[in-house]
Structure 1
Amino acid sequence: MAADGDFYQWIIEGQPGEVLKIEFDALKIEDHVENVRVYSGGPSIVTSDLIQDIRTGSSQKISLLSKNHFVTVTLQSYRKNSHPIVKFNWKPDTEASWQQVNIVNVTSSYSVISSPYYNSALVSSSFKREWLLTVPEGELITLEILDNTLELNGSSDFYIVTNVGFVLKELNSHKAIYISSKNSMSVIVKARSFKKNFQFNARVRKGCDLITKLSLATFAVKNMPANSSCSWRVQNEVGTNFSLQIIEIADADSNDALQIYSTTVYYLQSYRAFVYPLHIYSAFVYSLQIYSDCPDLRGGTIVIHNKTKTAGGGYTAQLTCPTGFRFKQEEYSKITTLFAVCNEGGKWNWSSSSYTRTPECQ
């Protein structure tokens, strides 16, 4: 297609539910003289979003994905007697287009479910996926979300998980682990606000035992099926002590039990000394929060304040170097007393975003 000092527009309409893939095979335009724009979302530019503004020619093939089944391509030439060349084709993209429910027969080996074109250069900005995960009767399913930029149960760009009996969510992160309450689980992911950074990647397997590493998280147990027995081993990724705060316990009967091994427990906001392992009976709904302690501070004169609070719960430290010594790192060279706060994730906050290294005396 060619134009000469004018404005051209091509309107493409696919079938509802389709996402179109547009490929520019040839694109010869002059900088600041011509530009090609691609819109998607509605039958006209006014009702569409701009998805690409191309102002320079390219010998490489350019591939784009639409927002829905409407695409508008425009060519604007700002100078008479210019000879731009624009050649493109389009087709429905089966990977990004809306599909029927994908049924996954989950086994003991991990299976991966992800958003279209996950971790590739061609990002799908608009998509919907739904998976039905199944195992034999009497079995449970573990869903581990590894990478995600969608909100749980959000309004426009979101993911939904059904039939949940257990959830462990890493705070300040979109990572989470879900265990089903029965032998099936549905996962739905949807992006429609046309931002190009939405990603979802998870893995699933049969069973409810897990081993994971984290530093700050909450987990809740509810609606677990009768006669189920699961083991959840949580390791501290920052290598310090854990504390566990029990937030909620709802009554059930004496046949239900939560057993906790090797941890400091804060029960309903108050510290209580338990003989380990801790056995909590007569409860069916459990809600707990895990905190990590901060690494020990060594060298210099260190004063710790409010250390009796929950590990990582905001206690403070005051650091000074002995007489004749000073802080080794350059950013602390003009400081004689340094104040720090241990945050809930087991990391020291040195009172300034420019302070990132653990101070040492020399």
Structure 2
Amino acid sequence: MSEPATQGRRRPSIYDVAERAGVSHMTVSRVLNGHPNIRESTRERVLQVIDEMNYTRSSIARALAQGRAMRIGVLVDSPTQWGPNSTLRALEAAAREEGYAISAFSISDDEQSQIHAGVVELLTQGVDALCVIAPRASSLDMLRQQSTGLPTLVIKAEPEAEMHTAALDQRAGAMAAVMHLIELGHRSIAHLSGPLDWYDARAREQGWRDALADAGLPIASPVVGDWTSDYGYTFGKSYDFARTTAVFAANDQMALGLVHGLAERGLRVPDDVSVVGFDDLPDARHFLPPLTTVRQDFAALGALALQILIAAIAGEEVDGHDIIEPRLVVRRSSAPPRA
């Protein structure tokens, strides 16, 4: 008899099914994926336990009927950072709405071995497609050496050969931020960039350059940071602001540290220096002062990426490249420069 769903009870996982059936979770996954190299007695036992535990029965039936796993593998680089983490969570939410599950593999250090291991692990789970959240150029370079034969989408603003792409338009967001400062009257705008091995950091730096060039303003070398508040704080404490009246920081965390560093040396935001960030963290509106920044619609990105992958899984022809424009959110950290 099937166990009824009970309010407040944790839904059974694939590991619960494996434990009750006396097999590994990989065996359960292979049964769900219709893998041929499974003994019939094992298959029947696993399917019986699935029925007894009421383990996402509708999704399983759909998967078996369509010959698909209804699962998308996600390879995510630097998962603790705001952008990759938010993209992953948005993709998970979009997948649930469509009856898909997500299997994620995280990469941090020792990228080459981890990327290879991640691809192998996800393929072993019988995923229908791959989504790659690889913000560092070095990670994507290593991924190009892997061959999976599956529909693959990369979260990246520039088109990628033999892969689908979807992204938030980092360059457009940066240009909007810098044009806002220019329209306020600033003529010397510094840039505290992220690590330039990151595609997002490169695009935001390019947007800063393009906005200044379009306005005929001087372009100095950016200061390359590491995304952390500590780096922003050091920059704020040590940078020569004799002529600079505004800073475009490549993310809100560095902007937060920057405001702190400026305050410690007696410079006020925005009275002495205007500061604009990027990301619109949930706490950005509570910075002192509340931070002008660029908001990214991760929910829209997750939904877009998933729809492209589902179409590719079905063999439908889809556009190779889609992009979503961020939105500038003006708060009190930016103002016209003092005369």
Range of TM-score over shorter length: under 0.3
Larger Rg: 1
The TM-score, its normalising length taken from structure 2, stands at 0.27
The TM-score, its normalising length taken from structure 1, stands at 0.26
Higher helix share goes to which structure?
Answer: 2
Higher strand share goes to which structure?
Answer: 1
